[in-house]
Amino acid sequence: MLGVFADAHKVTKIHFYVQDIVSGPNQTVWEVARSNITSTSPTLFGLVRVIDEQMTAKPDANSKKLGQVQGQITFADFKEVAPLMNFNVVFKSGIYNGSTIWLLGRNPISQTYREYAIVGGTGIFRIARGYAITSIYSDDSAGHFVLEYTLYVYEVFGKSSQPSNM
């Protein structure tokens, strides 16, 4: 086990924007379930939503498309609007094309900056760890939010992190 910790690490910083559209014809966030108390809960407790959102290089929705952010949001806090976020960053262009990064964490809406754990990935990011910082870059009255993400991905290199041939 000590060999894993002795291996070299590479930190990759990845910056992008997510087009989060909560209403209208191009909606990217959909409610899929709710509990019998969600409608009376000030924190939306029991609400479950799924997302499939465009990841872009710039805040403008028409900028270069990098991929998708796909997953689920579960409101699971009685006292604070702080949903559990569980989603994949799916790269569909550039040097990371075909790779994914899995983000997981609590999203306290009242905070300007939120932090998620990077708990894995595929392709280039297999066995990746790290963290992501996100914030709302902009929003409009039509329900279109632009979210800004910066990921710090720690990739492990070395023979102990590679799959063995059986």
Q: What CA–CA distance (Å, rounded) separates 18 from 63? A: 11
| pLDDT the model gives residue 142 | 87
Q: How confident is the model at residue 8 (pLDDT cuts 50, 70, 90)?
A: low
Is residue 161 predicted with pLDDT exceeding 60?
no
What integer pLDDT is reported at residue 58 of this predicted model?
98
Q: Which two tokens stand for residue 66?
A: 């990098």
Tell me the per-residue pLDDT of 105-160, one tens digit each, with 9 for 90 and over. 999 999 999 999 999 999 999 888 999 999 999 999 889 999 999 999 997 654 43
pTM over 0.75: yes
Residue 164 pLDDT exceeds 50 = no
pLDDT digits (tens, 9 = 90+) for 55-83: 999 999 999 999 999 999 999 999 999 99
The DSSP element (H or E) to which 139 belongs, if any, is: strand 129-139
What are all long-range contacts of 131-140, with beta carbons under 8 Å and residues at least 24 apart? 132/103, 132/105, 137/17, 137/59, 138/59
pLDDT at 98 over 70: yes
49 or 24, which is more confident? 49
Strand duo 100-106 + 29-33: pairing = unpaired
Top pLDDT among 141 and 103 is at 103
Tokens of 59: 């805040």
